[in-house]
């Protein structure tokens, strides 16, 4: 079982080939192949490679499946004794990517 930990959209994500993940929206159209550059760690059943801070000899490709919106978050602000109440909502724009390959390139 090969897996990697990458940095994407400000978060660290544990990924495996053949699985899909939701990250903050990226500028790519659905169906496009993207390359994920910031790899922090690779575990390849026999060896573990740790970057300082990133690994350079790794190719991770993914396919953008679709763009969607996350679940709604309600924000409620209130100031007591002032009769001020404010209710807002937010839905984060997300991109769903399918991880196709994780390859270690030997130099």
Q: Can you tell me the mean pLDDT for 29-41? A: 95
pTM of the model: 0.84
pLDDT in tens, 44-103: 988 999 999 999 999 999 999 999 999 999 999 999 999 999 999 999 999 999 999 999
Spatial contact of 36 and 79, defined as CB atoms under 8 Å apart: no
33-36 and 84-90 strand pairing:
unpaired
Listed by start position, the domains of the chain span 2-68+95-104
- Please classify residue 97 by burial: count the beta carbons closer than 10 Å to its beta carbon, then call 0-12 exposed, 13-18 middle and 19+ buried: buried
Phi-psi region of 82 (alpha: psi -120 to 50; beta: other; left: phi over 0): alpha
């Amino acid at each position: 079982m090969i897996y990697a930990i990458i940095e994407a959209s400000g978060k660290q994500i544990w990924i495996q080939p053949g699985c899909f993940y939701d990250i903050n929206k990226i500028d790519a159209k659905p169906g496009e192949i993207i390359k994920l550059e910031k790899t922090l760690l690779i575990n390849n059943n026999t060896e573990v490679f740790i970057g300082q801070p990133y690994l350079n000899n790794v190719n991770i490709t993914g396919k953008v499946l679709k763009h969607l919106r996350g679940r709604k978050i309600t924000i409620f602000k209130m100031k007591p004794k002032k009769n001020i109440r404010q209710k807002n909502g937010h839905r984060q724009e997300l991109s769903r990517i399918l991880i196709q390959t994780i390859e270690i390139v030997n130099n």
